Amino acid sequence: MTVLKMNTIKCVHLSSGVTMPLFGLGTFKIRGQDTVHQVLDAALAAGYRSFDTASVYRNEEDIGKSMQTLLPKYGLCRQEIFITSKLAPKDQGQGACREACLQSLSRLQCSYLDLFLIHWPGTHKLRPEDPHHKENRLGSWADMEQLHEEGKVKSIGVSNFLQHHLEELMKACSVKPAVLQIEFHPHLVQRDLLQWCQQHDVHFQAYSSLGTSNQDNKLLTDATVQDVANRVNRTPAQVLLRWAVQQGVGILPKSTNPNHIKENSDIFDFELGDQIMQELTTLSRDTHYCWDPSAVV
């Protein structure tokens, strides 16, 4: 995985041959046409060019509508932004995956997606130990390879897969996953998984880099994170995001606050020293603030 800089946007060159911004906007729980429009407007103004959504977020249609007016506002065309969406667990399996992707394209008013991910290694309503999970994952991937061949998706990948899920997929696929999107932050340093992805040229992209959005945010209020922020004269959020990108990890911070949206993108003009990086890494406590896929066979 090669990290390169295009103009002012730092990007990664994926194994699919596609160039993807290293940071983008996460849109989980951002709903309602007015809210979505305001958030995307602020993000585009701040220089964001990558936007991450999913079928289960229930905001694809609002994003699609907003982009129709916001891209001309900023003098941008579709090819200048990167849009990611994901396959819902209820739509796992060959045939269902294809139809779900086409529906996402319709809601987003796009002729193609830059990246399409299997959102979860399991299938909705199946028990975690059910062997049909594997069958459905591989069926979904067969559809995704076909969609990739047709140009409807430029890159394909997975979310919330662990190493055994990835190894199983690699043995069966014709097109390997270009991206793994997974929870990753100083309280959940998945070092072995990160190294596996680096060795196999699968870009490692983090979600929930800032923890949860509730008031009791144990990441942003972590004493070490706050101390580092004071030492480098940055916000705790900027420190957490810089810690990730300094390892070549993609990030998708979410916010509805225009000031925070701008602050979150302002992380490429400073570096954390080796000692600080180590201080943050040693905070790992194997804590998931979102979803833990380890039970899914």
Q: How far is CA 79 from the centre of its chain?
A: 19
Q: Is 260 annotated as a binding residue?
A: no
Tokens of 23: 């940071």
DSSP 12-43: EE-TTS-EEESB-EE-TT--SHHHHHHHHHHH
Catalytic hit among 48, 57, 207, 289: 57
Contact predicate 204/182, CB 8 Å = yes
> What is the SS3 assignment for 87?
strand
Whether 48 is a known active-site residue: answer no
DSSP letter at 117? Answer: E
Report how far residue 165's alpha carbon sits from residue 279's, in angstroms, rounded to the nearest whole number: 31
Terminal alpha carbon distance of the chain: 28
Binding residues for substrate: 119
Q: Which residues are designated catalytic? A: 57
